[in-house]
Amino acid sequence: CFGLISNEDVWANVERTWYSLQKMINIKNEEVVDYKFEINKSVESKNIKVTYKNLMIDDGNLIVEIDVDDSKFKPSEDFTQKQKEDWNLDKWVNRETFISLGDIEAYVNKEKRGILQTGQADYEYKSRNADGVTSIVSIIPLYEIENGFNVEKVDKDEFPYNIDKDRIYNIQLTTKKIHISAEMEPNEKVRYGGVVRSDWSVDLPIKGEDLIKATIKCDDYKINKNIKFEIDNLEKELYFESLYVSPIYAKLKFSTDIDGYNIGEKYHIEIKLENENGEEYQFDSMTAKFDDKKQSCEVEVEYKNIF
């Protein structure tokens, strides 16, 4: 692992193969297939059938594979004239469309968990298959509890990090919106054609021992090393804490001063992760948590483990 000091344009010109989460799970199927807890429950409403296929837990994240079958859904026939006008149906109804789920909420024993990272059809999988089904992967952080307008993280000795094998956990996945999007002309941005509102929710009472089996085993390496450097007469120090590795993800934790990964107005820090062959892991996301009292910033960089 190493840090790269770059301006805004350096990485923009690097061509990479993009791996969606669905593609990752397919590539790593042999490594994760035994973790998949089979659900196979379907809910149908407004001629759209949502099938929850299976779930896994990776580092506190609930990963759910879902199929959406809208082959019977005919907006041009079912909707009122006003809805057709509002949705501009005449502009997109005959084109290839694709599906994403909106606002999937997770409850564990009636306690609301997580902020949804939008469960949408991955780019390579946006087209329906021959049967009119779209495959979707949704990720919900079970380690977050919604408390009013605040989101709190659970302790490491609580669920989902600590699971009681003898307990029944009722996981409710609440889905009340499905977005139908139109594929526009080349060089145009994809835009939503409209939202179908109904209820495709499902209750999943699952034994703790089954959730333990569905929790992906990982390695959490302690690094505990500092890197110091100077650029444009600014001294910076990074403290690398740990590297988490699972078949699907790699997550690096480091901290720096309150400026975070920004260095003045010209530079910011990007962290690349490479394997022993010099091949680069796919960057997925970066989150920063600032502590004004300590004048420090904790950063977690997430990568897809494509190797």
Residues 6+ positions from 150 with CB-CB distance below 8 Å: none
pLDDT of residue 277: 93
pLDDT tens-digit readout, 124-162: 445 667 777 888 888 888 888 877 777 788 888 999 999
pLDDT of residue 10: 40
- Report the sign of the C-alpha dihedral through residues 54, 57, 60, 61, in that order: negative
**Bridge partner residues of 3 (DSSP):** 271
Mean per-residue pLDDT for 110-135? 64
pLDDT exceeds cutoff 70 at 187: no
Provide the pLDDT confidence category of residue 294 given band limits of 50, 70 and 90.
Answer: confident
Between 268 and 181, the more confident residue is: 268
Count of CA atoms in the C-beta half-sphere (13 A) of 260: 14
Count of CA atoms in the C-beta half-sphere (13 A) of 29: 6
pTM to 2 decimals? 0.78
Average pLDDT over the chain, rounded to whole?
79
- Count other Cβ atoms within 10 Å, centred on residue 9: 7
pLDDT exceeds cutoff 50 at 118: no
pLDDT of residue 205: 94
Q: What's the CA gap between 206 and 36, in Å, rounded?
A: 13
Share of the chain above pLDDT 70, in %: 75
